[in-house]
Structure 1
Amino acid sequence: MAKATERLKYISLAILVLQCTTLVLAMRYSRALKQDGPLYLASSVVVSVEMLKFVTSIFLVFKDNGFNFQASKHVMRDEIINKPIETLKLAIPSGIYTFQNNLAFIALSNLDATTYQVTYQLRILTTALFSVCLLGKKLGLFQWLSLLILMAGVVLVQWPEETPGTSEQAELLTSNQVVGLLAVLAMCCSSAFAGVYFEKILKETPLGVWVRNIQLGFFGLIFGIVVLFVKDGEAVIRSGMFQGYNELTWIIIVLQAFGGLMVAVAIKYADNILKSFAMSFSIILSCFISYLWFEDFDPASFFFLGAVLVIAATFLYGFDGSVKESGRAETV
């Protein structure tokens, strides 16, 4: 039994690494790929992801109720339709997640995959701050220290250096990096607030996770369609919602839709330390693939020092959290 659990830990670790690395690299490659015809609409992909998540969540509710149609309908009616106020509460995180998913495509259109992943680790800081403010969470000494190290690491990763080439090329590159950085920072704040808000709702009104995902998916689908037609309405009318879709686009949709499920499975069997190792290894793997394969990653002089600090901070934060949880379990 112990060997099977140990094996599941490392399988979960591999799943988490593959999911994090593959999704980011696939998104970056798809945005940088030169192809005949129009590029797929990022807002359209977000709608497709929300639709797939919504349908999958309904299927999983049926599965949890033994594929009994009446029982499943009863659960969804009682918990969603008959509790409109509770359902409407999910509109806030759902709208934020839709906004965040659109920002991810903007960020990866302007930053290489490695810089994006390292900078996005700032969500540890924003999540910690929102957790302290909204949930009254107390952080340990090592966690506060890790947040300071994290900020220093991200500053070094983004530290500007002289760019070779003409002043126009340098100005364009700097402009793209600023747009990408602002998108990632907005993602860090929105992701943290939505995650903590969702956690607060789950703690206040315990309910099956798949029912919650149906609520999130429903509002996400509405918000996604609104963004699609406001931002790309003319293009949709002219060439259709699925213009520019190819095999890679569908891979991205599946990875994003099932990403949360993959991470949940991984965390179920792996502790915070293994999760931190997975995130760190994902950054390193993205670095090598971006440099050797995509050839769009040219690290600045301070990049590697900053990346090491971010990886160390990620591990230190997870380690302190794991130790506190272990100590809490021993005293019960």
Structure 2
Amino acid sequence: MSNENRDETNDDERAIRIDIDRNNVERTAPRDDVSKQEASIAKAIVGGEVGQHEQASLAFKAIVCSAFIVLMVTYPLIVALTKRKGKFVYHPSSAVLLIELGKFLVTGVLCVVVRPSFDGFNARSVVVLALPSIVYMIANNLAYTVLEVTSPVTMNVLSNVRLFMVAIIYWLVLARPISRARWIAMFLVAVGLVCSQLRGDMRLAVTGLGLFYIFLKALLSVVNGIYTEIVLKHHVSNFHVQNLQMYAWGVITNLLVFLYGSTKPLAEIRSSFFEGFNSFVWVSIFVGALTGIVTGAVMKHLDNIAKFFCVSLANISLGVLTAYFLPSEFQFSLLFLIGAILVGLASYMYSINGLPDCAKKFLSLKSLEW
């Protein structure tokens, strides 16, 4: 959702903490170096493990994992429940702005407490960070458009189309072949996505317009992930400092979008900012900001298996709750359950470029490795 994109996105983009030489992007780079770069970008975009995770107690990991699942389920559902007659009656940009402001304030407090190094913080880094922030702003507001034409669980599950986009970018831009393991993983993801959207009459539950918006949102996420991996971390060395700048840009860009989209005189802008707000909207803003913070902890402390377990369980739980609270938008079925599980397993298979060791021994498919 609005946070998902950035914080999947911590999912996705901003939790990347490994050093890559820019020359590795060139097609003439050695195979091993490019493969490592591909792996780092792919795992960042699909939510995989990047670098070494900080050591944490099992109890802390359990708390983070549980909080992540609850927030992954709660946030998109609450946002969907803020609709009235299928439409958002408030400005999505004002809600996204407040979410970014909340994360900016929390990150600012963390910077005061942690006292991170500001090496690399300069005018150039501020300017460079503006581009992904603008893309995030577009994607975050686009999430509200998606939720006007489809259900929250449909948006979450179909966002796994990012796997195909990553593979195509590698193939076209980096001229890298796709391994057999990843072809199989992509096929299984496709099967899972179709299964998750089939209704009882064997028709797709999502409309063509919904697919277009979801694919566009996913593409923005992928492009931002690659940009962040290759470019941004050469300018800002500290995670909190980079986040602080990006959240600041998020506040600025969403404020500009709100001002540009408002049709009221400047004197009435202040009152119109909160127009249409109700208790659900305020709760969604609070949960949205909290989701961003918890997602950062997930990317920092949990490994691949835990992440994909959390996401798969969250999607299934969200499907159950969406069917209960929004029955007109989604009906839970066995096909959806099979599809959601298949997507989760195939996504994990893609991120590790093969099968887990236990599965390879059981199935004797060691040829699926690189």
TM superposition score category, shorter chain reference = 0.7 to 0.9
Aligned residue number for residue 240 of structure 1 = 272
Q: Tell me the CA shift for residue 111 of structure 1.
A: 0.9
Change (3 A) 1:23 1:311: same
Q: Tell me the CA shift for residue 103 of structure 1.
A: 0.8
Say if 1:12 and 1:267, in contact at 8 Å, map to a contact too.
no
Corresponding residue SS for 1:245: coil
Corresponding residue SS for 1:228: helix
Mapped to 1, the partners of 2:283 and 2:106 lie a distance apart of 16
1:313 aligned onto 2:340: no
Say if 1:273 and 1:322, in contact at 8 Å, map to a contact too.
no
For 1:210, which of 213, 236, 240 is the aligned residue?
240
Q: Tell me the CA shift for residue 222 of structure 1.
A: 2.2
Mapped to 2, the partners of 1:221 and 1:29 lie a distance apart of 24
1:196 aligned onto 2:229: no
Mapped to 1, the partners of 2:171 and 2:304 lie a distance apart of 19
Say if 1:143 and 1:317, in contact at 8 Å, map to a contact too.
yes
Q: Tell me the CA shift for residue 231 of structure 1.
A: 2.6
Say if 1:98 and 1:223, in contact at 8 Å, map to a contact too.
yes
The runs of 5 or more residues in structure 1 that have no matched partner are 67-71, 165-172, 325-332
Corresponding residue SS for 1:115: helix
Aligned residue number for residue 20 of structure 1 = 72
The runs of 5 or more residues in structure 2 that have no matched partner are 1-55, 358-370
Residue range with higher mean Cα deviation, 179-188 or 282-291: 179-188
For 1:278, which of 310, 317, 321 is the aligned residue?
310
Aligned pairs (5 A) from 1:105-184: 105-127=144-166, 129-130=168-169, 141-158=180-197, 177-184=207-214
Say if 1:273 and 1:318, in contact at 8 Å, map to a contact too.
no
Change (3 A) 1:300 1:32: farther
Aligned pairs (5 A) from 1:27-106: 27-32=79-84, 39-65=89-115, 75=118, 79-80=120-121, 83-106=122-145
Deviations 1:171-226 (A, max 9, x none): xx99x833322221111000111122112235434511121112212222222122
Mapped to 1, the partners of 2:197 and 2:278 lie a distance apart of 33
Aligned residue number for residue 294 of structure 1 = 326
Change (3 A) 1:124 1:206: same
Mapped to 2, the partners of 1:92 and 1:102 lie a distance apart of 16
Identity percentage of aligned residues = 25
Mapped to 2, the partners of 1:184 and 1:235 lie a distance apart of 34
Say if 1:146 and 1:314, in contact at 8 Å, map to a contact too.
yes
Count of residue pairs the alignment pairs up:
300
Corresponding residue SS for 1:121: helix
Q: Tell me the CA shift for residue 136 of structure 1.
A: 8.8
Change (3 A) 1:253 1:267: same
Residue range with higher mean Cα deviation, 240-249 or 26-35: 26-35
Residue range with higher mean Cα deviation, 303-312 or 186-195: 303-312
Mapped to 2, the partners of 1:138 and 1:302 lie a distance apart of 32
Structure 2 residue identity aligned to 1:187: K
Corresponding residue SS for 1:40: coil
Say if 1:280 and 1:314, in contact at 8 Å, map to a contact too.
no
Say if 1:157 and 1:302, in contact at 8 Å, map to a contact too.
yes
Q: Tell me the CA shift for residue 283 of structure 1.
A: 0.9
Superposition CA RMSD, Å = 3.6
Change (3 A) 1:137 1:224: farther
Structure 2 residue identity aligned to 1:90: L
Mapped to 1, the partners of 2:174 and 2:192 lie a distance apart of 27
Deviations 1:52-82 (A, max 9, x none): 222222222212229xxxxx9xx4xx754xx
Aligned residue number for residue 260 of structure 2 = 230
Mapped to 2, the partners of 1:266 and 1:227 lie a distance apart of 30
TM-score w.r.t. structure 2 length? 0.69
Say if 2:111 and 2:241, in contact at 8 Å, map to a contact too.
yes
Aligned residue number for residue 251 of structure 2 = 221
